[in-house]
Amino acid sequence: MQEPDENRFRHRDLNWLSFNERVLQEAADKLNPLYERIKFLAIFSSNLDEYFRVRVSQLRQMKRVKKSIRKKLDLRPSKITKQIIEQVKLQQEKFGVLYKKQIIPELAENGINLIESHHFNAEQKKFATGFFSKNVFGHLKPVLLDLQKENELFLENAVLYFLVTFQDENKLGVVNIPVKNCGRFIALKEENQEHFITYLDEIVRFKLDELFPQKNITGIFEIKLSRDAELYLHDIYDGELSEKIYESLKQRTKGQPTRLLYDANMPQEVQKKVRKLLNLGKIDMMPGGKYHNFKDFFSFPDPTDNNDLHRESRPSIPHKNLENSNNYFKTISEKDQAVHFPYMSFKYIENFLEQAVNDEAVTDIKISLYRVADESKLTSCLLQALENGKNVTVFVEAKARFDEENNIIWGRKFEEKGAHVIYSYPKVKVHSKIMLISRLENDHRKHYAYIGTGNFNSETSEIYCDHAIFTANQHIAKELMRLFKVLEGELIIPREKNLLISPFSTRQKFSKLIYNEIENARAGKFAAITAKMNSLEDHELIDLLYKASQAGVKIRLLVRGFTCLIPGIEGMSVNIYITSVVDSLLEHGRIYIFENGGDEKIFYGSADWMSRNLDRRIEVISPVLDEEISREFKDILNIQLQDNVKARIQDASEDNKYVQRENGQKAIRSQHEIYNYLKEKHTSS
498 is in an annotated binding site: no
- Tell me how far CA of residue 639 lies from CA of 413, 553, 561, 660, in angstroms: 43, 21, 19, 16
Residues 236-258 as b/e (b if ≥16 CB within 10 A, e otherwise) read bbeeeebebbeebeeeeeebebb
Query: What is the rounded CA–CA span in Å between residue 63 and residue 550?
Result: 37
- Tell me how far CA of residue 15 lies from CA of 12, 54, 102, 537, 664, in angstroms: 5, 15, 27, 10, 33
Active site residue 539: no
Of 11, 195, 340, 431, catalytic:
431
Query: What is the rounded CA–CA span in Å between residue 429 and residue 131?
Result: 46
371 is in an annotated binding site: yes
**Distant-in-sequence, close-in-space partners of 315: CB < 8 Å, separation ≥ 6:** none
Closest CA to 585 of 669, 683, 660: 669
Q: Give the end-to-end CA distance of the chain in Å, rounded to a whole number.
A: 53
| Rounded to 5°, angle at Cα 456 from 450 and 462 | 115
Query: What is the rounded CA–CA span in Å between residue 462 and residue 612?
Result: 27
In the Cβ-directed half-sphere of 218, how many Cα atoms lie within 13 Å? 11
Query: What is the rounded CA–CA span in Å between residue 328 and residue 355?
Result: 8
Query: Is-contact 389 421, C-beta < 8 A?
Result: no
**Distant-in-sequence, close-in-space partners of 240: CB < 8 Å, separation ≥ 6:** none
**Helix, strand, coil percent content, the chain, rounded in steps of 5:** 40, 25, 35
Is 185 exposed, middle or buried, given 0-12, 13-18 or 19+ CB atoms closer than 10 A? Answer: middle
Closest CA to 600 of 572, 637, 552: 637
> What is residue 247's three-state secondary structure?
helix
588 is in an annotated binding site: yes
- The H or E element spanning position 559 is strand 554-559
12 is in an annotated binding site: no
- The strand pair at 285-288 and 257-263 is best described as parallel
Q: How many residues does the chain have?
A: 685
672 is in an annotated binding site: no
> What is residue 426's three-state secondary structure?
coil
Query: What is the rounded CA–CA span in Å between residue 186 and residue 162?
Result: 18
Query: What is the rounded CA–CA span in Å between residue 429 and residue 402?
Result: 14
Residues 602-637 as b/e (b if ≥16 CB within 10 A, e otherwise) read bbbbbbbbbbbbbbbbbbbbbbbebeebbebbbebb
Look up residue 294 and give its DSSP letter.
G
Count of CB atoms within 10 A of residue 556's CB? 18
What's the Rg (C-alpha) of the chain?
Answer: 27
Closest CA to 160 of 145, 142, 179: 179
Query: What is the rounded CA–CA span in Å between residue 671 and residue 464?
Result: 11
Query: What is the rounded CA–CA span in Å between residue 91 and residue 624?
Result: 41
616 is in an annotated binding site: no
Query: Is-contact 641 556, C-beta < 8 A?
Result: yes
- Binding site, annotated residues: 47, 371, 401, 464, 560, 588
- Binding site, annotated residues for Mg(2+): 371, 401
Enzyme catalytic residues? 431
- Binding site, annotated residues for ATP: 47, 464, 560, 588
